[in-house]
Amino acid sequence: MRAIFLSYRRDDAEGEAGRLFDFLTAEFGADKVFMDVTGIEPGRDFRKVIDQNVTSCGVLLAMIGKGWLDAKDDAGRPRLDDPMDFVRLETASALKRDIPVIPVLVHGGRMPRPEQLPEDLKDLAYRNAMELTHPRWDSDVQLLIKVLRPHVDKELEQAGDAEAKRTLEKPLGKSATPASKQPRADSATLPASTQPTKRFWRRVVLAGVAATAIAAAGIFLRSCNSPKEQTSTNRSLASASPTAGSQTQGNPANIATSTSSNSTNATPSALPKARPSTADSGRRPDGVRETKSDPEIKRVFITGESYYKAGQYEQALPLLRKAAESGDGGAAAYLGLICEKGLGGLPKDDAQAVSWFRKAADAGNARGMSGLGFMYEKGRGGLPKDDAQAVSWYRKAADADDAWGMNNLGGMYAGGRGGLPKDETQAVSWYRKGADGGHARSMTNLGSMYESGRGGLPKDDAQAVNWYRKGADAGDARGMSGLGFMYEKGRGGLPKDEAQAVSWYRKAADADDAWGMNNLGAMYASGRGGLPKDDVQALKWYRKAADAGYAHGISNLGNMYEKGRGGLSKDDVQAVSWYRKGADAGDAWAMNKLGAMYEIGRGGLRKDKAQAVNWYSKAAALGNTDAEQALKRLGH
């Protein structure tokens, strides 16, 4: 069964269809995508083949260019008026079955109106469309892939177990007859008496394979069974200053310097040493570059990768491990991500992640290079915290077209770290490349740069919303927070909608984004967006944000102690302690509050005008208007 059917007109969108076909087959496999040029064998009746494939597909992509609607036949008649027009037949058949039909607009194509379409195509006008543009082709395709994945995964759930068993059934290192050449067990060429015996031995083999897979998963589980990593990643230390009484935070000043939403971790001694893989065979859109290897190893890797992308990590583990131990760099990179994130029921294990990322990087795998750079940046997995090493690995990964590496290199330029000059123009350039490669955090970082007007970009809320939405749609929690903030404030062409803001903040918070946690707490504290006023809930989310190292969450926790809210006793000493932590982390609001505590001598501090002026000045330099007023009051 082909999960995806590409419908197009050759004289309208042939080039775009072929290019998209290449991307989709690289992502899902050639057996999951049907396009007439490659899917029909010579001598077959293409009308019947097309009908069979439309009947069995899970989703149809209707490629619509400028000439899709107005195409004419040799006699000058509109092609869509012909009931035998193949594009019409394909699309109408899919609409009749009520399967997902996604109009894909290319090359300036526009959605047709219902009155422009024949009766059996009118429903097409009501289907949500996606657009693929030349400047943003890679990132647009990645968004389309995200939409298509559930349809492919549905087939994987039905057929994946059988395919995995067939893959593992074949011994590694031995030539195997291609599946298409193997006689079927029920083939008429086999004597009837042999069939029960063949089925019997197949059951025996499959039982052995299942036991092997279970054992491999158990070994891998033990290899990652170290104490859980406690350090939260991607701590954005805010320096923007909200107005008095406001506790939500928008556009943290260094949001774009955070490197990645991906995190990464290995005990080299706990795993059998993998053989180094051979030369790299090519780059993939997701940066997990395939490695030249035995065809059987490649089949194991592809099946394991499919499970990984479907979120079926326990099934992916034994397959990826088998491929990685045979030298496949792409499989090693995935194992690094599994260990670092603690997927498939495994605890997080930074040491194991480092081991697998290094194996992948040594094999020339770009995603492994990015993972290793990330671990150097954070000083995790037994590695020293070394920004210069991080930059070195990020650059290698970026040069090999890995979007994660591009994003992280941009973050290092934005922060002026790892021996790089602080250069926000370079940061924007790398974020854009990462976004073009489909990296979700890169999209969000571009949104932040547009919102604040940095890196040579104009201050443009509409563009900020556009990129925050792209990041959020691609699964980046920070993008969800950014979109929530723009809804809360009614900026970038969005209506002021606090209920929408709360919805996005909750999605971000549930995905462990500290900005979203803090802002969700603020909405509870003020009873906005349809939420009840609930200081206990507010305190809960502020504490989660503070535990993640988020500067404004730390400051808001101090404010709860100062006011004695959320079940806390009023405690100025605790308030000062949290304000100081927030100020040290760069939060202007905390600096202003600390200045106020020095001015009046509270929280165990002696009254000290000089210290008050010092903290007010730091807050004012970051744009805090309350601090500016305090300085004027004190004659500064």
Residues 458-487 have pLDDT tens digits of 999 999 999 999 999 988 999 999 999 999
Angle, in degrees to the nearest 10, between helices 366-378 and 329-341: 30
CB-count burial class (<10 Å; 0-12, 13-18, 19+) for 180 = exposed
Collapsed DSSP state (helix, strand, coil) of residue 37: helix
Q: How would you classify the pairing of strands 290-291 and 280-282?
A: antiparallel
pLDDT at 155: 65
CATH fold of the domain at 4-144:
Rossmann fold (3.40.50)
Amino acid at the residue 198:
K
* Best CA proximity match to 231, nearest among 342, 345, 356: 342
DSSP E strand boundaries for 287-380: 290-291
Matching residue, tokens 């406690």: 230
Question: Are residues 257 and 414 in contact, defined by beta-carbon separation less than 8 angstroms?
Answer: yes
- Cα–Cα distances in Å, from 261 out to 256, 258, 474, 492? 12, 8, 12, 24
HSE-up of residue 363 (Cα within 13 Å, Cβ side): 33
Return the percent helix, strand and coil in the chain, to nearest 5.
60, 5, 35
HSE-up of residue 95 (Cα within 13 Å, Cβ side): 20
Question: Are residues 342 and 350 in contact, defined by beta-carbon separation less than 8 angstroms?
Answer: no
HSE-up of residue 537 (Cα within 13 Å, Cβ side): 16
CA distance 559 to 629: 20
CATH topology identical between 214-250+264-422 and 553-636: yes
The tokens describing 424, both together, are: 């926000």
**SS3 per residue for 550-590:** CHHHHHHHHHHHHHCCCCCCCCHHHHHHHHHHHHHCCCHHH
Parts of the chain with a pLDDT under 50: 37, 165, 167-207, 209-210, 214, 219, 221-222, 225-246, 253-292
The tokens describing 608, both together, are: 């000290």
pLDDT at 391: 96
Concatenate the DSSP letters of all residues of 53-65 into one string: HHHH-SEEEEEE-
The tokens describing 474, both together, are: 């691609």
Question: Are residues 634 and 616 in contact, defined by beta-carbon separation less than 8 angstroms?
Answer: yes
Claim: this prediction has a pTM higher than 0.75: no
CA distance 61 to 82: 21
Radius of gyration over every alpha carbon of the chain, rounded to an integer in angstroms: 28
CA distance 203 to 189: 21
CA distance 563 to 164: 59
DSSP H helical segments within 77-180, as ranges?
86-97, 137-169
Q: If you classify domain 553-636 with CATH, what class do you get? A: mainly alpha
CA distance 256 to 417: 13
Q: How far is CA 175 from the centre of its chain?
A: 37
Q: Select 214-250+264-422's CATH number: 2.60.40.4070, 2.40.50.140, 1.25.40.10, 3.40.50.11540.
A: 1.25.40.10
Angle, in degrees to the nearest 10, between helices 514-526 and 498-510: 140
Question: Are residues 450 and 463 in contact, defined by beta-carbon separation less than 8 angstroms?
Answer: yes
pLDDT at 457: 95
DSSP H helical segments within 344-497, as ranges?
350-362, 366-378, 387-399, 403-415, 424-436, 440-452, 461-473, 477-489
DSSP H helical segments within 177-257, as ranges?
194-223
DSSP H helical segments within 98-136, as ranges?
none
- The partner residues of 57 in beta bridges, in order of sequence, read none
CA distance 474 to 487: 19
- Domain borders along the chain are 4-144, 214-250+264-422, 553-636
Collapsed DSSP state (helix, strand, coil) of residue 274: coil
Residues 6+ apart with CB under 8 A from 96: 120
